[in-house]
Amino acid sequence: MINVIIIDDDPFVTTSLKTILESTKEIRVLKVGHSADDAITLYQTFRPDVLLTDIRMGQQTGLTAAKEILRQFPDAVILLLTTFKDQVYIREAIAVGVKGYLIKQNLDAIIPSVKAAHKGQVVFGTEIVSTFTQMLKPIPQAKVQDPLSDRELQIIKEVAAGKNNKEIAETLFLSDGTVRNYISQLLEKLSLRDRTQLAIYYYQHLHEP
């Protein structure tokens, strides 16, 4: 029997996933939760074989919970569920050490993915695999004459967190135009093409796991 905990901020999703997983006698859902804090607390309490968690949940994310759980329990088996085919999240998920990253709508893959992860396999849905070729091309460390300023580092960190210009402006108390200018300068300074490359650059060269 594979014991599973499900975390998603939408109760309908947790109920649906529970029904799907328990349609096989090989899987038992111990508990469901609805936040990153729930994920951490429930994992600490029940030590499931597999933790299945959404990646975007309010202020915190499934990655936030995964990092903390894996810090405490390095052998934890965690599968991330999302509706977002986001290369930055995929890269960070791999770096964190989760066992899989699945698109939530691909319901047919849920049961086999849980079983495969329980056996120690790393599982990524076909939608995710299709992005790997581009994602895994390393972005070289740019040779810049001037190091990144504190403000530039703040901007690139917020871009890597998936925030748009307006959200970055509100977080850093800047105007939208100022944020846009900083991003343009960063792309030129680091010889990068777009925001995605800027975010991947952050995780490859600046992020401390």
Q: 143 or 71: whose pLDDT is higher?
A: 71
Please give the Cα distance from 207 to 199 (Å, whole number): 10
Q: Where in the chain is the domain with CATH 3.40.50.2300?
A: 2-135
Query: Which of 3.40.50.2300, 3.30.70.270, 3.40.605.10, 3.30.499.10 would CATH assign to domain 2-135?
Result: 3.40.50.2300
Q: Where in the chain is the domain with CATH 1.10.10.10?
A: 150-206
Query: Which of 3.40.50.300, 3.30.450.20, 1.10.10.10, 3.30.70.260 would CATH assign to domain 150-206?
Result: 1.10.10.10
Laid out side by side, the sheet with 50-54 consists of 27-33, 2-7, 50-54, 78-82, 100-103, 123-124
Please give the Cα distance from 191 to 201 (Å, whole number): 11
**pLDDT tier at 125 (50, 70, 90 boundaries)?**
low
Q: What is the mean pLDDT of residues 58-82?
A: 87
pLDDT at 43: 97
Across the chain, mean pLDDT equals 83
Partner residues linked to 53 by β-bridges: 7, 80
pTM, full prediction: 0.63
